[in-house]
Structure 1
Amino acid sequence: MKIGVLMIHGFTGGPFEVQPFADYIEEKTDWVVKIPTLPGHGETLDLRNKTAESWMMAAELALKELKKQTDKVMIVGFSMGGLIAMYLAMRYKIEKIVLLSAAVKYISAGQMLEEIRLAATDAVKGQIAQNPLFHLYEYKLLNTPVSSAVEFLRVVKMVEPYYDKLTLPVCIVQGKKDGIVPLSAAEHIYNQIGSVEKEIYHSDNGKHLICYSDDCEEWFAHVLAFMAKEHE
Protein backbone atom coordinates (compact mmCIF):
# COMPACT_ATOMS: atom_id res chain seq x y z
CA MET A 1 0.00 0.00 0.00
CA LYS A 2 1.62 3.21 -1.18
CA ILE A 3 0.51 6.34 0.70
CA GLY A 4 0.78 9.84 -0.77
CA VAL A 5 0.62 13.15 1.07
CA LEU A 6 -0.14 16.36 -0.79
CA MET A 7 0.86 19.45 1.19
CA ILE A 8 -0.51 22.84 0.14
CA HIS A 9 1.03 26.12 1.34
CA GLY A 10 -0.74 29.38 2.14
CA PHE A 11 -1.55 32.70 0.46
CA THR A 12 1.61 34.74 -0.33
CA GLY A 13 3.71 31.86 1.04
CA GLY A 14 5.52 28.87 -0.37
CA PRO A 15 6.56 25.26 0.40
CA PHE A 16 8.77 26.51 3.28
CA GLU A 17 5.58 27.05 5.33
CA VAL A 18 4.96 23.30 5.59
CA GLN A 19 8.49 21.98 4.99
CA PRO A 20 9.26 21.13 8.66
CA PHE A 21 6.21 18.85 8.84
CA ALA A 22 7.00 17.38 5.40
CA ASP A 23 10.53 16.55 6.61
CA TYR A 24 9.10 14.96 9.76
CA ILE A 25 6.69 12.77 7.75
CA GLU A 26 9.46 11.69 5.37
CA GLU A 27 11.74 10.85 8.27
CA LYS A 28 9.13 8.72 10.07
CA THR A 29 7.40 7.00 7.12
CA ASP A 30 7.95 5.74 3.58
CA TRP A 31 5.13 7.90 2.25
CA VAL A 32 5.43 9.99 -0.91
CA VAL A 33 5.22 13.69 0.02
CA LYS A 34 4.64 16.41 -2.60
CA ILE A 35 4.47 20.20 -2.06
CA PRO A 36 3.52 22.11 -5.22
CA THR A 37 4.27 25.84 -5.46
CA LEU A 38 1.05 27.66 -6.35
CA PRO A 39 1.20 30.14 -9.28
CA GLY A 40 2.77 33.47 -8.30
CA HIS A 41 4.00 32.12 -4.98
CA GLY A 42 7.31 30.85 -3.65
CA GLU A 43 10.65 32.62 -3.52
CA THR A 44 9.76 35.14 -6.22
CA LEU A 45 6.35 36.38 -5.12
CA ASP A 46 4.46 37.82 -8.08
CA LEU A 47 0.69 37.61 -7.64
CA ARG A 48 -0.31 40.00 -10.42
CA ASN A 49 -3.03 38.47 -12.63
CA LYS A 50 -3.10 35.26 -10.60
CA THR A 51 -6.57 33.92 -9.84
CA ALA A 52 -8.22 31.66 -7.28
CA GLU A 53 -8.85 29.21 -10.12
CA SER A 54 -5.16 29.09 -11.06
CA TRP A 55 -4.20 28.17 -7.48
CA MET A 56 -6.88 25.49 -7.23
CA MET A 57 -5.96 24.06 -10.63
CA ALA A 58 -2.27 23.82 -9.72
CA ALA A 59 -3.15 21.93 -6.54
CA GLU A 60 -5.55 19.71 -8.49
CA LEU A 61 -2.90 18.81 -11.07
CA ALA A 62 -0.44 17.96 -8.30
CA LEU A 63 -3.12 15.75 -6.68
CA LYS A 64 -3.78 13.91 -9.96
CA GLU A 65 -0.05 13.24 -10.39
CA LEU A 66 0.24 11.96 -6.83
CA LYS A 67 -2.82 9.74 -7.26
CA LYS A 68 -1.12 8.09 -10.25
CA GLN A 69 1.90 7.23 -8.10
CA THR A 70 0.09 6.04 -4.96
CA ASP A 71 -2.85 3.96 -3.72
CA LYS A 72 -4.24 6.40 -1.17
CA VAL A 73 -3.78 10.15 -0.72
CA MET A 74 -4.10 12.44 2.27
CA ILE A 75 -3.92 16.24 2.07
CA VAL A 76 -2.31 18.65 4.53
CA GLY A 77 -3.33 22.26 3.91
CA PHE A 78 -1.85 25.31 5.61
CA SER A 79 -3.86 28.56 5.85
CA MET A 80 -5.38 29.14 2.38
CA GLY A 81 -4.03 25.69 1.51
CA GLY A 82 -6.50 24.28 4.04
CA LEU A 83 -9.37 25.72 2.02
CA ILE A 84 -7.93 24.25 -1.17
CA ALA A 85 -7.57 20.89 0.62
CA MET A 86 -11.28 21.02 1.47
CA TYR A 87 -12.11 21.98 -2.13
CA LEU A 88 -10.16 18.97 -3.46
CA ALA A 89 -11.74 16.64 -0.90
CA MET A 90 -15.16 17.61 -2.27
CA ARG A 91 -14.13 16.51 -5.76
CA TYR A 92 -11.82 13.53 -5.27
CA LYS A 93 -11.51 10.46 -3.06
CA ILE A 94 -9.18 11.59 -0.29
CA GLU A 95 -8.48 9.46 2.79
CA LYS A 96 -8.06 12.25 5.35
CA ILE A 97 -7.29 15.95 5.52
CA VAL A 98 -5.22 17.91 7.99
CA LEU A 99 -5.98 21.63 8.29
CA LEU A 100 -3.18 23.79 9.72
CA SER A 101 -4.14 27.38 10.68
CA ALA A 102 -6.93 27.13 8.11
CA ALA A 103 -7.91 30.61 6.94
CA VAL A 104 -11.70 30.41 6.99
CA LYS A 105 -11.93 33.63 8.95
CA TYR A 106 -9.63 36.56 8.48
CA ILE A 107 -7.34 38.54 10.71
CA SER A 108 -7.73 38.30 14.45
CA ALA A 109 -7.49 42.03 15.16
CA GLY A 110 -6.47 41.68 18.80
CA GLN A 111 -3.55 39.34 18.15
CA MET A 112 -2.44 41.30 15.08
CA LEU A 113 -2.36 44.51 17.15
CA GLU A 114 -0.30 42.71 19.77
CA GLU A 115 2.17 41.57 17.08
CA ILE A 116 2.41 45.12 15.72
CA ARG A 117 2.82 46.52 19.23
CA LEU A 118 5.73 44.13 19.85
CA ALA A 119 7.29 45.12 16.53
CA ALA A 120 6.89 48.81 17.47
CA THR A 121 8.49 48.14 20.86
CA ASP A 122 11.42 46.48 19.10
CA ALA A 123 11.72 49.46 16.77
CA VAL A 124 11.93 51.84 19.72
CA LYS A 125 14.72 49.70 21.14
CA GLY A 126 16.46 49.74 17.77
CA GLN A 127 15.89 46.03 17.25
CA ILE A 128 13.42 46.08 14.36
CA ALA A 129 15.86 44.15 12.15
CA GLN A 130 15.55 41.23 14.57
CA ASN A 131 11.76 41.08 14.46
CA PRO A 132 10.91 38.38 11.88
CA LEU A 133 7.25 39.32 11.64
CA PHE A 134 8.05 42.90 10.61
CA HIS A 135 10.14 41.76 7.65
CA LEU A 136 7.63 39.11 6.63
CA TYR A 137 4.77 41.62 6.53
CA GLU A 138 6.87 44.39 5.01
CA TYR A 139 7.79 42.07 2.14
CA LYS A 140 4.24 40.79 1.71
CA LEU A 141 2.70 44.26 1.82
CA LEU A 142 5.05 45.45 -0.91
CA ASN A 143 4.44 42.37 -3.06
CA THR A 144 0.74 41.64 -2.60
CA PRO A 145 -1.58 43.51 -4.97
CA VAL A 146 -5.10 44.19 -3.70
CA SER A 147 -6.49 42.15 -6.59
CA SER A 148 -4.81 38.99 -5.29
CA ALA A 149 -6.25 39.55 -1.81
CA VAL A 150 -9.66 39.63 -3.51
CA GLU A 151 -8.82 36.30 -5.19
CA PHE A 152 -7.92 34.84 -1.80
CA LEU A 153 -11.35 35.86 -0.47
CA ARG A 154 -12.89 34.16 -3.51
CA VAL A 155 -11.25 30.89 -2.43
CA VAL A 156 -12.85 31.33 1.01
CA LYS A 157 -16.27 31.96 -0.53
CA MET A 158 -16.02 29.04 -2.97
CA VAL A 159 -15.50 26.47 -0.24
CA GLU A 160 -17.66 27.92 2.55
CA PRO A 161 -21.08 26.59 1.45
CA TYR A 162 -19.84 22.99 1.31
CA TYR A 163 -18.32 22.32 4.75
CA ASP A 164 -21.21 20.05 5.72
CA LYS A 165 -20.74 17.96 2.54
CA LEU A 166 -17.30 16.85 3.71
CA THR A 167 -17.45 13.57 5.63
CA LEU A 168 -13.85 12.32 5.57
CA PRO A 169 -11.72 12.24 8.76
CA VAL A 170 -10.24 15.66 9.55
CA CYS A 171 -7.63 16.88 12.02
CA ILE A 172 -7.47 20.63 12.69
CA VAL A 173 -4.37 22.24 14.21
CA GLN A 174 -4.63 25.83 15.43
CA GLY A 175 -2.14 28.04 17.26
CA LYS A 176 -3.46 30.00 20.22
CA LYS A 177 -1.19 32.94 19.33
CA ASP A 178 -2.04 33.08 15.63
CA GLY A 179 -2.13 36.73 14.54
CA ILE A 180 -3.72 36.02 11.16
CA VAL A 181 -6.39 33.38 11.77
CA PRO A 182 -8.41 33.63 14.99
CA LEU A 183 -8.92 30.65 17.30
CA SER A 184 -12.62 30.78 16.48
CA ALA A 185 -11.82 29.78 12.87
CA ALA A 186 -10.82 26.27 13.95
CA GLU A 187 -13.99 25.95 16.05
CA HIS A 188 -16.03 27.19 13.09
CA ILE A 189 -14.66 24.49 10.77
CA TYR A 190 -15.03 21.82 13.46
CA ASN A 191 -18.68 22.72 14.04
CA GLN A 192 -19.62 23.12 10.37
CA ILE A 193 -17.78 20.20 8.75
CA GLY A 194 -19.87 17.07 8.14
CA SER A 195 -17.16 14.64 9.26
CA VAL A 196 -17.91 12.22 12.09
CA GLU A 197 -14.22 11.58 12.77
CA LYS A 198 -12.82 15.03 13.55
CA GLU A 199 -10.52 16.58 16.12
CA ILE A 200 -8.85 19.87 17.03
CA TYR A 201 -5.34 20.18 18.40
CA HIS A 202 -4.52 23.52 20.02
CA SER A 203 -0.88 24.61 20.03
CA ASP A 204 -0.37 26.81 23.10
CA ASN A 205 2.56 28.77 21.62
CA GLY A 206 1.69 28.41 17.94
CA LYS A 207 1.58 31.54 15.79
CA HIS A 208 0.34 31.51 12.20
CA LEU A 209 3.41 29.71 10.83
CA ILE A 210 2.39 26.73 12.92
CA CYS A 211 5.04 24.37 11.50
CA TYR A 212 7.65 26.58 13.21
CA SER A 213 5.97 26.64 16.64
CA ASP A 214 7.98 25.81 19.78
CA ASP A 215 5.78 22.78 20.38
CA CYS A 216 5.69 21.56 16.77
CA GLU A 217 7.36 18.22 17.60
CA GLU A 218 4.42 17.44 19.90
CA TRP A 219 1.73 18.17 17.40
CA PHE A 220 3.71 16.65 14.52
CA ALA A 221 3.62 13.34 16.42
CA HIS A 222 -0.07 13.71 17.26
CA VAL A 223 -1.08 14.51 13.67
CA LEU A 224 1.11 11.79 12.16
CA ALA A 225 -0.59 9.26 14.48
CA PHE A 226 -3.96 10.52 13.20
CA MET A 227 -2.77 10.15 9.59
CA ALA A 228 -1.18 6.74 10.13
CA LYS A 229 -4.18 5.13 11.83
CA GLU A 230 -5.36 2.23 9.64
CA HIS A 231 -2.23 2.56 7.52
CA GLU A 232 0.22 0.75 9.79
Structure 2
Amino acid sequence: MNHSSQSNRSQPAFLLLHGFGGAPWEVEPLAEALRKRGYLVAAPTIKGLSSSSRRDMARYAYEEWIWAAEEAYKALKTQSDKIVLAGFSTGGLIAVHLAIRHNPEAIIFMSTPIQHWDLKRIMTNLGEDIKNRRPDHLRYYMKSTVKFPVRALWEFKRIQRHTKSRFGEVRCPALILQGLDDDTVHHQSAACILKGLHSIKSHSKAELEYFEPAGHVLLQGPARDQALRRILKFLGDSCIL
Protein backbone atom coordinates (compact mmCIF):
# COMPACT_ATOMS: atom_id res chain seq x y z
CA MET A 1 0.00 0.00 0.00
CA ASN A 2 1.33 3.42 -0.89
CA HIS A 3 0.80 6.43 1.35
CA SER A 4 1.68 10.11 1.16
CA SER A 5 2.43 12.00 4.38
CA GLN A 6 -0.56 13.82 5.84
CA SER A 7 -1.33 14.63 9.44
CA ASN A 8 -4.54 16.66 9.20
CA ARG A 9 -7.54 14.37 9.66
CA SER A 10 -9.84 16.97 8.07
CA GLN A 11 -8.02 16.58 4.75
CA PRO A 12 -9.50 13.95 2.40
CA ALA A 13 -7.79 10.63 1.79
CA PHE A 14 -8.25 8.46 -1.29
CA LEU A 15 -8.61 4.71 -1.75
CA LEU A 16 -7.97 3.67 -5.37
CA LEU A 17 -8.96 0.15 -6.42
CA HIS A 18 -7.58 -1.63 -9.49
CA GLY A 19 -9.45 -3.95 -11.81
CA PHE A 20 -9.82 -7.70 -12.40
CA GLY A 21 -6.51 -9.24 -13.38
CA GLY A 22 -4.88 -5.84 -13.01
CA ALA A 23 -2.69 -3.97 -10.55
CA PRO A 24 -2.26 -0.49 -9.02
CA TRP A 25 -0.57 0.82 -12.20
CA GLU A 26 -4.10 1.10 -13.65
CA VAL A 27 -4.90 3.92 -11.22
CA GLU A 28 -1.36 5.27 -10.68
CA PRO A 29 -1.85 8.50 -12.72
CA LEU A 30 -4.65 9.53 -10.37
CA ALA A 31 -2.64 8.50 -7.31
CA GLU A 32 0.29 10.59 -8.53
CA ALA A 33 -1.89 13.63 -9.25
CA LEU A 34 -3.39 13.49 -5.75
CA ARG A 35 -0.06 12.92 -4.00
CA LYS A 36 1.42 15.93 -5.78
CA ARG A 37 -1.34 17.98 -4.17
CA GLY A 38 -0.38 16.62 -0.75
CA TYR A 39 -3.23 14.16 -0.21
CA LEU A 40 -3.07 10.76 1.45
CA VAL A 41 -3.50 7.97 -1.09
CA ALA A 42 -3.76 4.18 -0.81
CA ALA A 43 -3.66 1.98 -3.91
CA PRO A 44 -3.39 -1.60 -2.62
CA THR A 45 -2.81 -4.75 -4.64
CA ILE A 46 -5.84 -6.88 -3.85
CA LYS A 47 -5.08 -10.59 -3.51
CA GLY A 48 -7.16 -12.72 -5.83
CA LEU A 49 -8.05 -9.74 -8.01
CA SER A 50 -4.52 -9.14 -9.31
CA SER A 51 -3.04 -11.33 -12.06
CA SER A 52 0.36 -11.26 -10.32
CA SER A 53 -0.48 -14.75 -9.06
CA ARG A 54 -2.74 -17.19 -10.93
CA ARG A 55 -2.72 -19.32 -7.79
CA ASP A 56 -4.17 -16.47 -5.73
CA MET A 57 -6.76 -15.73 -8.39
CA ALA A 58 -7.95 -19.33 -8.20
CA ARG A 59 -8.11 -19.31 -4.39
CA TYR A 60 -10.06 -16.19 -3.45
CA ALA A 61 -13.80 -15.51 -3.55
CA TYR A 62 -15.11 -12.05 -4.41
CA GLU A 63 -16.16 -11.52 -0.80
CA GLU A 64 -12.46 -11.69 0.06
CA TRP A 65 -11.69 -9.01 -2.55
CA ILE A 66 -14.18 -6.77 -0.74
CA TRP A 67 -12.70 -7.67 2.65
CA ALA A 68 -9.17 -6.78 1.51
CA ALA A 69 -10.37 -3.42 0.14
CA GLU A 70 -12.28 -2.77 3.36
CA GLU A 71 -9.13 -3.36 5.43
CA ALA A 72 -7.38 -0.71 3.33
CA TYR A 73 -10.36 1.62 3.85
CA LYS A 74 -10.23 1.15 7.62
CA ALA A 75 -6.48 1.83 7.65
CA LEU A 76 -7.06 5.13 5.85
CA LYS A 77 -9.87 5.98 8.23
CA THR A 78 -7.42 5.97 11.14
CA GLN A 79 -5.64 8.88 9.44
CA SER A 80 -8.48 10.85 7.85
CA ASP A 81 -12.15 11.49 8.56
CA LYS A 82 -12.93 12.00 4.86
CA ILE A 83 -12.43 9.08 2.48
CA VAL A 84 -13.02 9.16 -1.28
CA LEU A 85 -13.33 5.90 -3.22
CA ALA A 86 -12.25 5.46 -6.82
CA GLY A 87 -12.57 2.12 -8.57
CA PHE A 88 -11.39 1.08 -12.00
CA SER A 89 -13.34 -1.71 -13.72
CA THR A 90 -14.06 -4.45 -11.13
CA GLY A 91 -12.60 -2.11 -8.52
CA GLY A 92 -15.70 0.00 -9.10
CA LEU A 93 -17.94 -2.93 -8.19
CA ILE A 94 -15.98 -3.47 -4.99
CA ALA A 95 -16.24 0.25 -4.21
CA VAL A 96 -20.06 0.00 -4.26
CA HIS A 97 -20.01 -2.41 -1.33
CA LEU A 98 -17.62 -0.20 0.64
CA ALA A 99 -19.72 2.89 -0.09
CA ILE A 100 -22.88 1.19 1.16
CA ARG A 101 -21.18 0.15 4.40
CA HIS A 102 -19.18 3.30 5.13
CA ASN A 103 -20.78 6.24 3.26
CA PRO A 104 -17.59 7.93 1.98
CA GLU A 105 -17.31 11.55 0.84
CA ALA A 106 -17.62 10.55 -2.82
CA ILE A 107 -17.18 7.65 -5.21
CA ILE A 108 -15.64 7.60 -8.69
CA PHE A 109 -16.38 4.85 -11.19
CA MET A 110 -14.02 4.27 -14.13
CA SER A 111 -14.93 1.70 -16.81
CA THR A 112 -17.07 -0.24 -14.34
CA PRO A 113 -18.59 -3.39 -15.90
CA ILE A 114 -22.34 -3.76 -15.69
CA GLN A 115 -22.20 -5.06 -19.25
CA HIS A 116 -18.89 -6.36 -20.57
CA TRP A 117 -17.44 -7.21 -23.97
CA ASP A 118 -18.75 -4.78 -26.56
CA LEU A 119 -19.04 -7.25 -29.45
CA LYS A 120 -19.61 -4.52 -32.04
CA ARG A 121 -16.40 -2.77 -30.98
CA ILE A 122 -14.52 -6.08 -30.97
CA MET A 123 -15.60 -6.78 -34.55
CA THR A 124 -14.49 -3.27 -35.54
CA ASN A 125 -11.10 -3.86 -33.94
CA LEU A 126 -10.69 -7.22 -35.69
CA GLY A 127 -11.58 -5.49 -38.96
CA GLU A 128 -8.75 -3.01 -38.30
CA ASP A 129 -6.39 -5.98 -37.77
CA ILE A 130 -7.31 -7.30 -41.21
CA LYS A 131 -6.98 -3.88 -42.82
CA ASN A 132 -3.59 -3.21 -41.21
CA ARG A 133 -2.41 -6.82 -41.59
CA ARG A 134 -1.43 -6.80 -37.92
CA PRO A 135 -3.28 -9.17 -35.53
CA ASP A 136 -2.75 -6.98 -32.47
CA HIS A 137 -6.33 -7.06 -31.25
CA LEU A 138 -6.74 -10.75 -32.08
CA ARG A 139 -3.69 -11.64 -29.99
CA TYR A 140 -5.05 -9.61 -27.09
CA TYR A 141 -8.47 -11.28 -27.21
CA MET A 142 -7.00 -14.77 -27.48
CA LYS A 143 -4.67 -14.10 -24.56
CA SER A 144 -7.56 -12.78 -22.46
CA THR A 145 -9.58 -15.97 -22.93
CA VAL A 146 -6.88 -18.17 -21.39
CA LYS A 147 -5.18 -15.75 -18.98
CA PHE A 148 -7.43 -16.18 -15.95
CA PRO A 149 -8.42 -19.27 -13.91
CA VAL A 150 -12.02 -20.43 -14.33
CA ARG A 151 -12.65 -19.88 -10.59
CA ALA A 152 -11.58 -16.23 -10.87
CA LEU A 153 -13.85 -15.65 -13.87
CA TRP A 154 -16.73 -17.21 -11.92
CA GLU A 155 -16.06 -14.88 -8.99
CA PHE A 156 -16.09 -11.91 -11.35
CA LYS A 157 -19.51 -12.94 -12.63
CA ARG A 158 -20.71 -13.36 -9.04
CA ILE A 159 -19.68 -9.87 -7.92
CA GLN A 160 -21.07 -8.38 -11.12
CA ARG A 161 -24.41 -10.12 -10.60
CA HIS A 162 -24.63 -9.28 -6.88
CA THR A 163 -23.71 -5.62 -7.36
CA LYS A 164 -25.93 -4.62 -10.29
CA SER A 165 -28.99 -3.99 -8.14
CA ARG A 166 -27.17 -2.19 -5.31
CA PHE A 167 -26.15 1.14 -6.85
CA GLY A 168 -29.30 2.73 -5.47
CA GLU A 169 -27.98 2.14 -1.95
CA VAL A 170 -25.03 4.48 -2.54
CA ARG A 171 -25.72 7.86 -0.91
CA CYS A 172 -22.59 9.91 -1.62
CA PRO A 173 -21.82 12.08 -4.70
CA ALA A 174 -20.70 9.97 -7.65
CA LEU A 175 -18.80 10.47 -10.87
CA ILE A 176 -18.98 7.92 -13.69
CA LEU A 177 -16.33 7.91 -16.42
CA GLN A 178 -16.53 5.63 -19.46
CA GLY A 179 -14.81 5.25 -22.80
CA LEU A 180 -17.15 4.96 -25.77
CA ASP A 181 -14.58 2.79 -27.55
CA ASP A 182 -14.01 0.47 -24.57
CA ASP A 183 -14.21 -3.08 -25.96
CA THR A 184 -13.95 -4.77 -22.54
CA VAL A 185 -16.76 -2.86 -20.78
CA HIS A 186 -19.76 -1.95 -22.90
CA HIS A 187 -20.30 1.81 -22.81
CA GLN A 188 -23.96 1.25 -21.85
CA SER A 189 -22.70 0.18 -18.42
CA ALA A 190 -22.22 3.83 -17.47
CA ALA A 191 -25.85 4.71 -18.18
CA CYS A 192 -26.97 1.65 -16.19
CA ILE A 193 -24.91 2.82 -13.21
CA LEU A 194 -26.35 6.34 -13.44
CA LYS A 195 -29.87 4.95 -13.57
CA GLY A 196 -29.15 2.76 -10.56
CA LEU A 197 -27.76 5.67 -8.56
CA HIS A 198 -30.86 7.72 -9.37
CA SER A 199 -33.26 4.89 -8.53
CA ILE A 200 -33.69 6.27 -5.00
CA LYS A 201 -34.65 9.96 -4.83
CA SER A 202 -32.58 10.68 -1.72
CA HIS A 203 -29.31 10.02 -3.54
CA SER A 204 -26.78 12.86 -3.81
CA LYS A 205 -25.63 14.17 -7.17
CA ALA A 206 -24.31 11.77 -9.81
CA GLU A 207 -22.48 12.83 -12.97
CA LEU A 208 -21.54 10.91 -16.11
CA GLU A 209 -18.98 11.69 -18.77
CA TYR A 210 -17.88 9.72 -21.84
CA PHE A 211 -14.52 9.85 -23.60
CA GLU A 212 -13.35 8.83 -27.06
CA PRO A 213 -10.76 7.67 -27.84
CA ALA A 214 -10.18 6.20 -24.41
CA GLY A 215 -9.79 2.41 -24.48
CA HIS A 216 -10.50 0.31 -21.42
CA VAL A 217 -7.73 1.31 -18.99
CA LEU A 218 -8.98 4.88 -18.93
CA LEU A 219 -6.15 6.43 -16.92
CA GLN A 220 -3.46 4.83 -19.08
CA GLY A 221 -5.03 5.60 -22.46
CA PRO A 222 -5.43 8.60 -24.77
CA ALA A 223 -8.10 10.19 -22.53
CA ARG A 224 -5.92 10.09 -19.40
CA ASP A 225 -5.40 13.84 -19.03
CA GLN A 226 -9.04 14.64 -19.79
CA ALA A 227 -10.19 12.07 -17.24
CA LEU A 228 -7.84 13.41 -14.57
CA ARG A 229 -9.05 16.97 -15.13
CA ARG A 230 -12.66 15.79 -14.92
CA ILE A 231 -12.01 13.94 -11.65
CA LEU A 232 -10.30 16.94 -10.07
CA LYS A 233 -13.13 19.22 -11.20
CA PHE A 234 -15.71 16.88 -9.68
CA LEU A 235 -13.81 16.77 -6.40
CA GLY A 236 -13.53 20.55 -6.37
CA ASP A 237 -17.18 21.10 -7.26
CA SER A 238 -18.13 18.65 -4.48
CA CYS A 239 -16.11 20.75 -1.99
CA ILE A 240 -13.79 17.83 -1.28
CA LEU A 241 -10.56 19.42 -2.52
> Fold match, TM over 0.5?
yes
The one-character-per-residue Cα deviations of 1:56-109 (angstroms, maximum 9, x if unpaired) are 111111111111111200000001111111111010120100000011112111
Residues 48 and 61, structure 2, Cα contact 8 Å, conserved in 1: no
> Superposition pairs for residues 32-47 of structure 1, below 5 Å?
32-42=40-50, 44-46=52-54, 47=57
Unaligned stretches of 5+ residues in structure 1: none
Residues 74 and 95, structure 1, Cα contact 8 Å, conserved in 2: yes
- Equivalent in the alignment of 1:94: 104
> Superposition pairs for residues 32-71 of structure 1, below 5 Å?
32-42=40-50, 44-46=52-54, 47-71=57-81
- Equivalent in the alignment of 1:141: 145
**C-alpha distance in structure 2 between counterparts of 1:44 and 1:85, whole Å:** 21
The one-character-per-residue Cα deviations of 1:23-80 (angstroms, maximum 9, x if unpaired) are 12222x2111111111134462311122111111111111111111112000000011
**C-alpha distance in structure 2 between counterparts of 1:162 and 1:42, whole Å:** 24
Residues 101 and 210, structure 1, Cα contact 8 Å, conserved in 2: yes
> Superposition pairs for residues 1-232 of structure 1, below 5 Å?
1-27=10-36, 29-42=37-50, 44-46=52-54, 47-122=57-132, 125=133, 127-128=134-135, 131=136, 136-194=140-198, 195-228=203-236, 229-232=238-241
Paired residue secondary structure (2:59): coil
Against the structure 1 CA distance between its residues 135 and 15, is the aligned structure 2 distance closer, same or farther, given a 3 Å change threshold? farther
- What number of residue pairs does the alignment pair up? 225
Against the structure 1 CA distance between its residues 116 and 51, is the aligned structure 2 distance closer, same or farther, given a 3 Å change threshold? farther
CA RMSD of aligned residues (A): 1.9
**C-alpha distance in structure 1 between counterparts of 2:161 and 2:51, whole Å:** 27
**C-alpha distance in structure 1 between counterparts of 2:32 and 2:138, whole Å:** 27
Paired residue secondary structure (1:75): strand
Residues 111 and 177, structure 2, Cα contact 8 Å, conserved in 1: yes
Against the structure 1 CA distance between its residues 43 and 196, is the aligned structure 2 distance closer, same or farther, given a 3 Å change threshold? closer
**C-alpha distance in structure 1 between counterparts of 2:44 and 2:143, whole Å:** 22
Q: Percent identity?
A: 26
